[in-house]
Amino acid sequence: MFLDLILLAILLAAVSGLPGLVMPRSSVWGERIAAACMAVAAVAGLAGVVGGLRGAGGAACGFPWPAAGNGVVGLDALSAFFLAPILLVGGIGPLYGLGYWPQRIHRRNGRKLRLFWGLLVAGMALLVIGRHAMSFLLGWEIMALSAFFLVATEDERKESRRASWIYLVATHVSTLTLFGLFALWRSATGSYLLEPVSPETLRLGTRHLLFLLALIAFGIKAGMMPLHFWLPGAHASAPCHVSAILSGVVLKMGIYGLVRWLALLPVPPAAWGSIVLALGVVSGLLGVVYAIGQHDIKRLLAYHSVENIGIILMGLGIALLGRSTGHVGWVVLGMGGCLLHVWNHSLFKSLLFLAAGAVVHGAHTRQIDRLGGLARGMPWSAAGFLVGAVAICGLPPLNGFVSELFIYLGLFHAALAGSAMAMVGVPVLAAIGALAVACFVKVYGTAFLGVARTPAAAHAREAPVTMRMPLLILAACCAVIGLAPVLVAPALDASTRCWMAGVAPGTPAIRGLAPLGGIGALGAALVAGLAAAAVLGRRRHAARRARPAITWDCGYARPSPRMQYTATSLAQMIVGLFAPVLRPHVQHPRVDGLFPAPVAAHSHVDDAVLDRMLLPMGRRLANSFGWFRRFQRGLTQNYMLYILIMLLVLLGTLLPIRAMVERWLAR
């Protein structure tokens, strides 16, 4: 019954963009119908999710379609857990789109965007409930291709086209690896069904290969560090609510795949846990370091996705270590942290992207150094961004703190038991948190505080109510999880139990291992303290009227608002610290003579994998195949000649050559 609700939601989501296609471009009803459809789908689906988390998902049901391999779909706690962010963000996105990407302004691509939004949500939901390789792959490809069209929404811009092609290449590599994975699974187990198998059926080598393929395929989708190269460009050039769902939800499908796949495999060797943990450490640290070097607010947020995927992987790594060494407590804490961070990241990253969208909508730029003082003009968006920033930094009293605390606890347990990787993990997680705080101080301070640096930023207006509502919903979710983590504990327990079902039925509850009540109390106390301090501060501020003046004019004749600390200067120290990794390109201005000409300074940070490895390698490969072009002249006669040669060669293989030679020799 609850599975039916999910299927209904998938159907509604898939068709939500269709009415808009048959309506004229000037009509506003297409977008309204799409938003309503998606909202209904989200409500129906979330009701199904609640049922699924309670274990009432019902039996898996057949999917009577031969093209999809007569695949099977089913709803268990793990599926339900990942369905929640899909439906929540998928449901509120079109509402945000009403204000952010209205049909009357974006006539050319508004309808396309809504169609593929619905398909993206439907594809992800299908892949999460798929219990058969074919239904899984069907959902996966629908998701991957709709995401491609969404990234290419503004296909008239060169930057968008480039980002979407890079994304397409990455996602195809991922799908190809998945083909290999499923083929291997089929040959090892004899079935395409995604069900746990007994340890005897899989040899150790096969298991290692399955794990490696899964790690690559899902790692590309999740944006794990060496495979993240498609992510910053795609997230930066898509419309902001698309970036929100890409970063908040689509990346999580990679995590879902990895989690689901590890549940299918028998008890893992301890090395797998260490590998996942190490990848998490690398992704987390490098993600946040690269984020600090960015000037574009959306690119910066995109690199923070890499960082958070790293944190999620660290949780998964702890859980895997626990699973292979038999420490159920590690599994509960690691999996709890991993899964809760999946929810949390989808909430606060969507919140941040939507707030960034409000900024782009108001100030018409994504460059942090061209913003400033936005908190005055757009208080709601500023508040939303602040909530998201505090949450992503893992500070109490918001949700990021809770999940990171679980992972810390898991790491402590593992480190005390002597796991070397976990000992590295603890300080790295702490460093990630500190660097994230530095990064968001830079963004928030530069963009929302101070004086507006450009006229556009000075005239930025608050976003319409359809854009503020989603911000409010997401911020409220962040606060609820942060202040009352007890509420999400049952969902975490059910999903962890589902993940451990094949290994150890009856895992303990997370409530016994982490001080959930204490976290709530701490958060509440912190909120109360902050509120009291704010009230006191305002009273004192009201008593002493401050006189506004220029802070620092240093003898300049005409100081302009651009003469403030820039985001780049705030980040300079940390970028310098990590210069060996980041290798920032800095172009210093040269000022010569008595009356120097105007000069410009410029700095940017390239992506290590894409700009320094893949693109040069691709260029070299293309150059080394330059000689091949002479075979591709565009002349049909030449191509017919190739066919003729091929035909003659094939005919030649028909000849009984050996018999002929023997006959000839006998003569």
How far apart are the C-alpha atoms of 302 and 433, rounded to whole Å? 16
Residue from 104, 108, 583, 633 in contact with another protein (CB under 8 A): 633
**Which residues share a beta bridge with 602?**
587
Collapsed DSSP state (helix, strand, coil) of residue 586: strand
**Least distance between another protein and beta carbon 465 (Å):** 49
Q: Which two tokens stand for residue 598?
A: 């105007």
**Least distance between another protein and beta carbon 616 (Å):** 23
User: What b/e string do you get for 656-667 counting C-beta neighbours within 10 Å, with b at 16 or more?
Assistant: eeeeeeeeeeee
Q: What is the largest CA-CA distance in the chain?
A: 120
How far apart are the C-alpha atoms of 173 and 31, rounded to whole Å? 34
655 binding another protein? (CB under 8 A)? yes
- Closer residue to another protein in complex, CB, 588/658: 658
Residue 464: is the preceding peptide bond cis (ω within 30°)? no
Collapsed DSSP state (helix, strand, coil) of residue 360: helix
542 binding another protein? (CB under 8 A)? no
- Closer residue to another protein in complex, CB, 158/547: 158
Q: Which two tokens stand for residue 175?
A: 């799908």
Residue type, 475: A
- Closer residue to another protein in complex, CB, 623/637: 637
Collapsed DSSP state (helix, strand, coil) of residue 504: coil
**Least distance between another protein and beta carbon 471 (Å):** 46
- Closer residue to another protein in complex, CB, 26/636: 636
Helix and strand counts by DSSP (H, E) for the chain? 28, 4
**Least distance between another protein and beta carbon 659 (Å):** 9
**Least distance between another protein and beta carbon 172 (Å):** 21
How far apart are the C-alpha atoms of 147 and 301, rounded to whole Å? 18
- Closer residue to another protein in complex, CB, 465/640: 640
Stretch that binds another protein, among 102-110, 259-267, 502-510, 633-641 (CB under 8 A): 633-641
| # of chain residues touching another protein (CB under 8 A) | 17
- Closer residue to another protein in complex, CB, 165/380: 165
* CA neighbor of 309 nearest in space, from 390, 228, 245, 387: 228
Residue 511 CB burial class (10 angstroms; 0-12, 13-18, ≥19)? middle
- Residues 634-653 contacting another protein, CB under 8 A: 634-638, 640-641, 643-644, 647, 651
626 binding another protein? (CB under 8 A)? no
DSSP-assigned letter for residue 554: T
C-alpha angle with apex 471: 470 to 476, nearest 5 degrees?
Answer: 100
Element (H, E) at 72: strand 72-73
**Least distance between another protein and beta carbon 660 (Å):** 7
How far apart are the C-alpha atoms of 325 and 419, rounded to whole Å? 11
- Closer residue to another protein in complex, CB, 598/656: 656
597 binding another protein? (CB under 8 A)? no
The dihedrals phi and psi of 632, each to the nearest 5 degrees, come to: -115, 80
- Closer residue to another protein in complex, CB, 569/638: 638
- Residues 425-484 contacting another protein, CB under 8 A: none
Q: Rg for the chain (alpha carbons), in Å? A: 27
**Least distance between another protein and beta carbon 662 (Å):** 13
**Spatial contact of 366 and 236, defined as CB atoms under 8 Å apart:** yes
**Least distance between another protein and beta carbon 637 (Å):** 5
**Least distance between another protein and beta carbon 169 (Å):** 19
**Least distance between another protein and beta carbon 230 (Å):** 25
Residue 556 CB contacts under 8 Å (≥ 6 apart), including other chains: 563
- Closer residue to another protein in complex, CB, 533/647: 647
**Spatial contact of 344 and 481, defined as CB atoms under 8 Å apart:** yes
- Closer residue to another protein in complex, CB, 461/633: 633
**Least distance between another protein and beta carbon 168 (Å):** 19
Residues in contact with another protein, shown as a per-residue x/- string from 206 to 245 under the rule CB under 8 A: ----------------------------------------
Stretch that binds another protein, among 347-355, 579-587, 604-612, 654-662 (CB under 8 A): 654-662
- Closer residue to another protein in complex, CB, 604/663: 663
- Closer residue to another protein in complex, CB, 597/651: 651
- Closer residue to another protein in complex, CB, 587/638: 638
Residue type, 213: L
Collapsed DSSP state (helix, strand, coil) of residue 7: helix
The dihedrals phi and psi of 191, each to the nearest 5 degrees, come to: -155, 150
What is the dihedral angle through the alpha carbons of 211, 282, 344, 484, rounded to the nearest 10 degrees? 110
Stretch that binds another protein, among 46-54, 440-448, 520-528, 630-638 (CB under 8 A): 630-638
- Closer residue to another protein in complex, CB, 430/645: 645
**Least distance between another protein and beta carbon 161 (Å):** 16
* DSSP string for residues in 267-311: SPPHHHHHHHHHHHHHHHHHHHHHHHT--BHHHHHHHHHHHHHHH
**Spatial contact of 310 and 254, defined as CB atoms under 8 Å apart:** no
656 binding another protein? (CB under 8 A)? yes
How far apart are the C-alpha atoms of 524 and 488, rounded to whole Å? 17
**Least distance between another protein and beta carbon 642 (Å):** 10
- Residues 189-208 contacting another protein, CB under 8 A: none
Stretch that binds another protein, among 184-192, 322-330, 436-444, 627-635 (CB under 8 A): 627-635
660 binding another protein? (CB under 8 A)? yes
**Least distance between another protein and beta carbon 667 (Å):** 15
538 binding another protein? (CB under 8 A)? no
Residues binding another protein (CB under 8 A): 632-638, 640-641, 643-644, 647, 651, 654-656, 660
